[in-house]
């Protein structure tokens, strides 16, 4: 259960203040599949970082499962991030100079998953994200944008998070791979009741969701059910 109460975020640089979010309020219940849309620079990523407990609002409150995130300790936040949340960054943020497989294993290391299982889980997650097996041992900074995106997706899903936050997960993928990824999300949502929030520019992609939130200039402008729901390409 996610609840934003009047959330604002103002970026303070030396001379200027940039208000990225201006009093956004909404709720997302467990098991919902939500798409966030809006023009570039409207504050989508900023909102997503707050939802993922990676950043805190400058004003207003954000409750995750009833807990005010700003009041949690650093270690409590770390526990939430590793056990509950799978985050796919717009810019991927892979560990450079580490192999693909190592990048996907890392969340399992911090979550104290036993050694024997890590490799197996990581390989499975990478395969599910559609990455070729031959690339598992490549360094992550030697991949193409689309390949990095798939590694980032695998890393977010490897630990079976109950809340999946994806910042433009299909932005670097061709339509076919994009459909496969969205199909996976839809399946995780329908069959395993995971909460999924994605950011996207494309209406096609947003149509997979049950609900679409529109943001403009840091404010919520529309929040509606998605009538033209679309079913993803079926995966195994």
Partner 1 sequence: MKTSDLFQETFLAIIANKVRSGLTILGIVIGIGSVIAMVSIGQGSAKSITDRVESLGTNLLTIMPGSQRGQMVRGGMGSATTLTLEDAEALKTISTVKTVAPTVSSRKQITIKGSNTNTSIYGIDANYFSVKSITLELGIAFSEVQYKSKNKVAIIGPTTRDTLFGENTDPVGQKIRIDGQEYTVIGVSESKGGTGMGSSDDLIYIPLGTAQQYITGSDKLSNISVEVLAADLMDSTEEAISALLLQRHNIASADSADFSIMNQADMLSAMTDMTSTLTLLLGSIAGISLIVGGIGIMNMMLTTVTERTREIGLRKAIGAKRGDISLQFLSEAVTLTFISGIIGILLGWLLSYLVSHFGGITTTISPQSVILAFGVSGAIGIIFGYYPARRAAKLNPIDALRYE
Ligand X SMILES: Nc1ncnc2c1ncn2[C@@H]1O[C@H](COP(=O)(O)OP(=O)(O)OP(=O)(O)O)[C@@H](O)[C@H]1O
Instruction: Determine the size of the site formed for ligand X (CB under 6 A).
Output: 13
Smallest distance, Mg ion to C-beta of residue 51, A: 13
Task: Give the C-alpha separation, 47 to 66, whole Å.
Answer: 18
Task: Give the C-alpha separation, 66 to 230, whole Å.
Answer: 32
**Site mask, partner 1, residues 147-166, x = CB under 8 A?**
--------x---x-------
Q: Which alpha helices (DSSP H) does the chain contain, by range?
A: 44-51, 74-83, 100-110, 115-128, 145-157, 175-192, 203-206
**Residue from 56, 58, 124, 177 in contact with partner 1 (CB under 8 A):** 56
**Site mask, partner 1, residues 34-53, x = CB under 8 A?**
---------------x--x-
CA pseudo-torsion sign 158, 213, 49, 27: negative
**Residue from 18, 59, 109, 190 in contact with partner 1 (CB under 8 A):** 109
**Site mask, ligand X, residues 35-74, x = CB under 6 A?**
---x-xxxxxxx----------------------------
Task: Give the C-alpha separation, 114 to 221, whole Å.
Answer: 46
Q: Which helix (H) or strand (E) holds 154?
A: helix 145-157
Task: Give the C-alpha separation, 137 to 126, whole Å.
Answer: 12
CB-based contacts of 71, cutoff 8 Å, min separation 6: none
Closer of 11 and 110 to ligand X (Cβ): 11
Query: Per rule CB under 8 A, is residue 75 in the interface with partner 1?
Result: yes
Which residues contribute to the site for Mg ion (CB under 5 A)? 45, 90
Which residues contribute to the site for ligand X (CB under 6 A)? 11, 13, 18, 20, 38, 40-46, 90
């Amino acid at each position: 259960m996610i609840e934003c109460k009047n959330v604002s975020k103002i970026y303070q640089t030396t001379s200027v203040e940039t208000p990225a979010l201006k009093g956004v309020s909404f709720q997302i219940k467990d098991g919902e599949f939500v798409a966030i849309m809006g023009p570039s620079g409207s504050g989508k990523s900023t909102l997503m970082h707050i939802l993922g407990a990676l950043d805190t609002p400058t004003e207003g409150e954000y409750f995750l499962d009833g807990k005010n995130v700003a009041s949690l300790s650093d270690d409590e936040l770390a526990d939430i991030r590793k056990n509950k949340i799978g985050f796919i960054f717009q810019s991927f943020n892979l560990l450079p100079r580490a192999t693909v497989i190592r990048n996907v294993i890392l969340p399992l290391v911090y979550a104290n998953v036993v050694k024997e299982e890590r490799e197996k889980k990581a390989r499975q997650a990478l395969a599910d994200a559609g990455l070729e097996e031959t690339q598992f041992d490549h360094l992550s900074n030697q991949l193409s944008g689309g390949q990095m995106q798939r590694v980032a997706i695998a890393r977010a899903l490897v630990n079976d998070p109950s809340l999946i936050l994806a910042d433009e997960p299909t932005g670097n993928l061709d339509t076919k791979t994009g459909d496969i990824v969205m199909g996976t999300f839809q399946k995780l949502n329908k069959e395993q009741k995971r909460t999924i929030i994605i950011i996207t520019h494309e209406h096609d992609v947003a149509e997979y969701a049950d609900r679409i939130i529109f943001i403009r200039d840091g404010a919520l402008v529309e929040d509606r059910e998605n009538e033209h729901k679309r079913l993803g390409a079926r995966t195994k």
